[in-house]
Amino acid sequence: MLTFYDYLPSQNAWKVRLLLQHLGVPHRAVQVGIFAGEGRSPAFLAVSPAGKVPAIAFDDGRALAESNAILSFLADGTAYLPAEPFARAKVHQWLCFEQEHVEPVIGSLRYWTLTGKLARRDPALVGDKRAAALRTLALLERELATRDFIAGDAYTIADMALFAYASRAEEAGLPLAPYPNFHDWIARVQAQPGFLATVHPYAIDPLAGDELPPRTSVLAEEAALAG
Ligand SMILES: N[C@@H](CCC(=O)N[C@@H](CS)C(=O)NCC(=O)O)C(=O)O
């Protein structure tokens, strides 16, 4: 039985929740209290080296972290990840794009906004993220003018990954009205059979307004190893 390490307000974890639902994969979900420090336990670090959700593990001890790596693994051999090498590489192109231009940009702005942390962040950093987020949305608008889905004509894990944070840009204070192609893509993804509409607010976790616990012990160990 597959174990899925989840944290309900996480949209990185939502990507995996969505694919598990599309594929009907039997699993047991374990909630990780990331603000309570559960992501720093040695047991969880053995599953997820950076102490982050999502992660998955099997009864034989194999474990996998990073949302998009998990999507690639679970989607292998299904319609959500093409077998043909070039089409498959195109999916990976957009998975990499998501990790560089969506999650740490729109995702971070949204996280800070919804948990009340925005005012605690350096305004210059917030300004840079906002400018980068607008560039990302403009790029997606341009790309989605030419095809129905981000990596081609079919819905793939690249759409799932992008959707997680990009579709929720308005919660980061980024209006979507100027992006009609992007808006239409959101509707196409939402219309997929088995789409997971449920998104959990940070408000369900009373600790979500806190900063994440420091990685002190982990960092000390890493520094010792680095010499
Ligand atoms: N690149 C990772 C990012 C995962 C990530 O940032 N997860 C957050 C929740 S959305 C987390 O677990 N944060 C806890 C921490 O940083 O300690 C992925 O795509 O899975």
- In the reported structure, the alpha carbon of residue 33 is separated from the centroid of ligand 1 by a whole-number distance in angstroms of 12
Chain Cα centroid distance, residue 222:
25
Q: Is residue 64 within a helix (H) or strand (E), and if so which, with residue range?
A: strand 63-65
Q: Which helix (H) or strand (E) holds 94?
A: helix 85-97
pLDDT in tens, 54-84: 999 999 999 999 999 999 999 999 999 999 9
**Residue 146 DSSP one-character state:** S
Q: What is the CA radius of gyration of the chain?
A: 18
Evaluate whether 72 touches 98 at the Cβ level (below 8 Å): no
Has residue 12 got a pLDDT over 90?
Answer: yes
DSSP per position, 147-208: -SBTTBSS--HHHHHHHHHHTTGGGGT---TT-HHHHHHHHHHHTSTT-------GGGSTTT
At residue 112, does pLDDT exceed 90?
yes
* Predicted TM-score (pTM) of this structure: 0.96
* Ligand 1 site-directed mutation target among 41, 53, 98, most atoms within 8 Å of CB: 53
Q: For 162-196, what is each residue's pLDDT tens digit?
A: 999 999 999 999 999 999 999 999 999 999 999 99
Pull the structure tokens for residue 158.
Answer: 């690249």
Q: Is 33 helix (H, G, I), strand (E, B) or coil?
A: coil
Q: Is 107 in the pocket of ligand 1 (CB under 6 A)?
A: no
Please report, to the nearest 10 degrees, the dihedral formed by the alpha carbons of residues 10, 12, 16, 19 taken in order.
110
Say whether pLDDT at 132 is over 70. yes
- pLDDT value of residue 226: 78
Q: Which domains does the chain have, with CATH numbers?
A: 2-78+199-226 (3.40.30.10), 85-190 (1.20.1050.10)
**CA 11 remoteness from chain centre:** 5
